[in-house]
Structure 1
Amino acid sequence: MSSGPDPRHDRPIFVLGCPRSGTTLLQLMLHSHARIAIPAETKFVIPAYARRCEFGDLEDRDNRRALGEWITSERSTKFHVLGLDAGEVVDEIVAGPPTMGSAIGTVFRAYARLHGKARWGDKRPSYFRHVGTLLRMFPDAQFVHLVRDGRDCVASLMEMPWYDKDVHHAISAWREAVDRGHRLAERLGPDSYYEMQYERLVADPVDELTRLCAFLGEDFDPAMPHPEGIAKRTVSPRKKWHGRTHDAVTTNRVGSWAERLDPWQISLAEAAFGERLAEYGYEPSGLPKPPASQLARFTRTSTHRRLAQRKAALRERWKQHHEPNPVESRLTPQNTVTPAS
């Protein structure tokens, strides 16, 4: 038997994409792999990083304990979905290297260990905005970007009970995700960044997941195209918007935007997306152009979002000058606590 994870194949895996592009389905498929553990969405990675200055010098064990207790006990972090013993995780963070990346990596490694897996990952659609942050903590990470027809994403977003913005923001989100993906592909290269399409994934899961596994350096696992069993155990029935993950993989929702969006919303989305839809092989609707007033409103929304993102980037640059520790994970296979046999 192997004595531990192969250091060549334990790179963290981050799944990202525009919200409602199928990232939960892909997370479940990856979690079905015998070597890969990716939990349901947690909410502590970016918030913990954003608060790194507040926790002080992590060389101090008490500060590492405070960080660990915040991750494990703060309600907003969703630590409880991991099914881990909070006290044990805090102790492992305290005993580990004094960096933010090490503390966060410790939590996910404990999750992987719980499931008997050698490798961990995390899924959050908004990670497409935070790849620089994730790379600071995990320089060897691999990123999987799932792209879906933007009109289907917009239609689905507008139906979500938790989505509190308008169609202009929904359209902007897809355009931002795709544009960011293009830049990431150039910056990271084919060893660290992989893009796949939702429509191809649901039409031919075996072929698409075999290709994905080749990128990850893993053998294809025949359980991956059948994630509905894991979904029934791990996806809460309360999250009705993930209800279809309980069923076999299907192409039923591909192109459903045509019935779910108003004609003016389709026209506006197609005008805003420009050639991006054609790049991925998505057919245009043939509808006339949207009214100039709607285009102007979309432009205002898009510009406002861009300015807000620039301000956030400036704040982040300031924080980097004041952070008390390096943030890069220093975990190694030797740092991993092996469960008692």
Structure 2
Amino acid sequence: MGWKTRVNTALEGMTGYSVSRVRREVAPPPPAPRPPADVPRPPADPKLDRLVREPVFVLSPVRSGSTLLRVMLNSHSRIHAPHELHVRRLAVTLTTDPLRQAMETLGFSTSDIEHLLWDRMLHRELTGSGKQIIVDKTPSNVFAHRRLATCWPDARYIFLMRHPASIALSWHEADPLERPWEEAIQHTLRYMRYLTEARRRLDGLTLTYERVVAAPEKEMRGVCAHLGIDYEPGMVRYGDHEHGEFVKGIGDWRDKIRTGRVQPGRPLPARDEVPEELREICAEWGYL
């Protein structure tokens, strides 16, 4: 026993205290940056790497009726359409060199592991519902449609459009102080442009909000045919079903869900009411 130990033992016996050296806290190393060469790629073995082979994504701008479409789809006995999942925001960080080396040895890039995580989240959500088809209607998915198509090569798509001026106005009216009219136009126009690109790149079914509220049964029959399932009348009686938490400052949606009636949309704006910035995309979408 060294003298330091003997002194500390005697001190502790007499006073109840002991002397120890203060150890500095060593901060963990910062996460390593993602390698530039990490380009997202399809699954190496789709049967092994994907638990959900054919997820359905509703690609739409904000304020275009995606919540209405979600609850109508979720009312089908085979379709689980939860509130927005935002799975593309789930990111993976490989924090140490040994971990990175291990993943490289297994053949996984960071993006590959993220895709496994995204797929597992969808699989858990779907399995917990007891249904067979999962639909995610997160509007910001339009910005990542290429990545989603890479992750799930067999994914299916529903494109939901609405009159561009109605989209911008609805976004503005939801919070006029925080969303001035000119900013609302530019903000929603980004979604519209990405949706236009997605429709050019991907195969899918195109719906419009105006047609959904005008002829809900006809449009839902078309959706069911697109997904290869039988139509169920309960889809237009969505108030009879439970749809989870989804209402966050969306006006009178609770009453709409409770009554289960599809509400008519606002009148379409006249041509001279359409802002100049939106006229080109209005024409491209068939609204002018």
Instruction: Assess same fold via TM > 0.5.
Output: yes
TM-aligned CA distance change 1:256 to 1:275, over 3 Å: closer
Structure 1 residue aligned with 2:230: 219
User: When the two structures are superposed, what TM-score results if normalisation uses the length of structure 2?
Assistant: 0.67
Name which one, 1 or 2, has greater alpha-carbon Rg: 2
Q: Which amino acid aligns with 1:255?
A: P
User: When the two structures are superposed, what TM-score results if normalisation uses the length of structure 1?
Assistant: 0.57
- The CA RMSD measured in Å over matched residues stands at 3.2
Structure 1 residue 126, shift from structure 2 partner: 1.3
Structure-1 separation of matches of 2:239 and 2:180: 32
Does the Cα contact within 8 Å between 1:10 and 1:119 map onto a contact in 2?
no
Structure 1 residue 257, shift from structure 2 partner: 6.2
Structure 1 residue aligned with 2:60: 17
SS, match of residue 234 in structure 1: coil
Does the Cα contact within 8 Å between 2:73 and 2:80 map onto a contact in 1?
yes
Q: Residue 151 of structure 2: which of 113, 137, 160 is its match?
A: 137
Q: Residue 105 of structure 1: which of 119, 129, 136 is its match?
A: 119
1:47 aligns with 2:61: no
- Mark the runs of 5 or more structure 2 residues left unpaired by the alignment: 1-49, 104-109
TM-aligned CA distance change 1:245 to 1:126, over 3 Å: farther
Structure-2 separation of matches of 1:160 and 1:138: 34
Identity %: 25
Structure 1 residue 198, shift from structure 2 partner: 0.3
- Mark the runs of 5 or more structure 1 residues left unpaired by the alignment: 1-6, 61-66, 68-97, 284-341
SS, match of residue 218 in structure 1: coil
After TM superposition, the structure 1 = structure 2 runs for residues 40-189 of structure 1, keeping only pairs within 5 Å, are 40-43=83-86, 45-48=87-90, 51-54=91-94, 99-161=113-175, 164-189=178-203
Structure 1 residue 239, shift from structure 2 partner: 3.5
The one-character-per-residue Cα deviations of 1:187-208 (angstroms, maximum 9, x if unpaired) are 223xxx2221001011111111
Does the Cα contact within 8 Å between 2:216 and 2:262 map onto a contact in 1?
no
> If each structure's helix is expressed as a fraction of its own residues, which one has the higher value?
1
Does the Cα contact within 8 Å between 1:146 and 1:198 map onto a contact in 2?
yes
Structure 1 residue aligned with 2:244: 234
1:194 aligns with 2:205: yes
Structure-2 separation of matches of 1:12 and 1:170: 31
Structure 1 residue 281, shift from structure 2 partner: 4.7
Structure 1 residue aligned with 2:276: 271
Structure 1 residue 246, shift from structure 2 partner: 3.6
**Higher RCO structure (Cα 8 Å, ≥6 apart):** 1
TM-aligned CA distance change 1:186 to 1:101, over 3 Å: same
Structure-2 separation of matches of 1:203 and 1:250: 8
TM-aligned CA distance change 1:107 to 1:150, over 3 Å: same
Structure-2 separation of matches of 1:222 and 1:211: 13
Structure-2 separation of matches of 1:185 and 1:238: 28
Structure 2 residue aligned with 1:208: 219
Structure 1 residue 237, shift from structure 2 partner: 5.9
Structure-2 separation of matches of 1:210 and 1:159: 32
